[in-house]
Amino acid sequence: MIRKPTSKEAARKPNMREAILAAAEELFATNGFNAVSVRDIALAAGANPGSVTYHFKTKDGLLLEIYRRHCGPMNLRRSELLAAAKRVRDLQDRLEAIVRAYVVPAFTSGSDLAGGGARFTRLRAVMSAEGNEVARKIIAQTFDDTSHAFIDAVHESLPHIPRTDIVWRSHFLLGALYYSLVTPERVSRLSRGEADGSDAAAAIEQLVQAIVAAFQAPALDQAAPARRRPVVGSKA
């Protein structure tokens, strides 16, 4: 194995750079980019403000590094799961597997720390809401491939639905996913304690169940305001 990080002083900060990254990730994800100062981050990481400048040059650079750290692994995981999902024979099962391949890494990726994937996804949600420029650029060029692959896969298993509808519905999926991570306490509150909004496993199951049904909704033909029959009973 690699014995680089070993040191005589074990109980100390083994890697200040990592501590700063983790603190920044947490603070940005819960308070937004602009509400958090470099000094806040340094304080939370037990570091000196100057260290942040040393390791990441600017505050934007720090955010950039957070994205660089997570995007690769998460998209890799997604494409692995997507490839596996596409091999599922049963059409209904395949659609569910595809949705799961998109949702699960958003909650559980992130190498070491517990809830690492969820924290990064929440960060993306908040940056997206704030219209953060750094994030906007990275997301468009890093996630669009993944999104297109996902949309195509869904479309293949639902060929009778126009691609436009699939795009809208996958957009809703991402919005629902984001919001679940941004305000989980609202779920607990509105359910009067019967559900726990921060239960990732529950959120995933609920999300997958709901979104699969949303994808399977009848196509929205823009010409006809005439009513259609619901397809509730189409369960295998």
Residues of span 37-66 touching DNA by CB under 7 A: 37-40, 47-55, 57-60
Smaller CB separation from its own copies, 18 or 130: 130
Least distance to its own copies from the beta carbon of 38, Å? 14
What tokens appear for 204 in the block?
A: 């995933």
Q: DSSP labels for 6-39?
A: --S-TTS-S-HHHHHHHHHHHHHHHH-STTS-HH
Taking CA atoms, 155 is separated from 42, 60, 94, 111, 182, in Å, by: 46, 37, 12, 31, 28
Asked if 211 touches its own copies (CB under 8 A), the answer is yes
Task: State the binding partner of 171 from its own copies, DNA, none, CB within 5 to 8 A by kind.
Answer: its own copies
- Encode 22-38: b = buried (16+ Cβ within 10 Å), e = exposed: bbbbbbbbeeebeebeb
Residue 180 C-beta-side C-alpha neighbours within 13 Å: 25
Least distance to its own copies from the beta carbon of 51, Å? 24
x/- site string to its own copies, residues 145 to 174, per CB under 8 A? Answer: --xx--x-----------xxx-xxxxxxxx
Please report, as residue ranges, which positions from 49 to 68 form the binding site for its own copies (by CB under 8 A): none
Handedness of CA 31, 33, 38, 42 (dihedral sign): positive
Smaller CB separation from its own copies, 56 or 117: 117
Asked if 5 touches its own copies (CB under 8 A), the answer is no
Total residues interacting with DNA, rule: CB under 7 A = 25
Least distance to its own copies from the beta carbon of 67, Å? 17
Q: What CA–CA distance (Å, rounded) separates 208 from 78?
A: 15
Asked if 126 touches DNA (CB under 7 A), the answer is no
Residue numbers at the binding site for DNA (CB under 7 A) = 3-4, 7, 9, 13, 16-17, 36-40, 47-55, 57-60
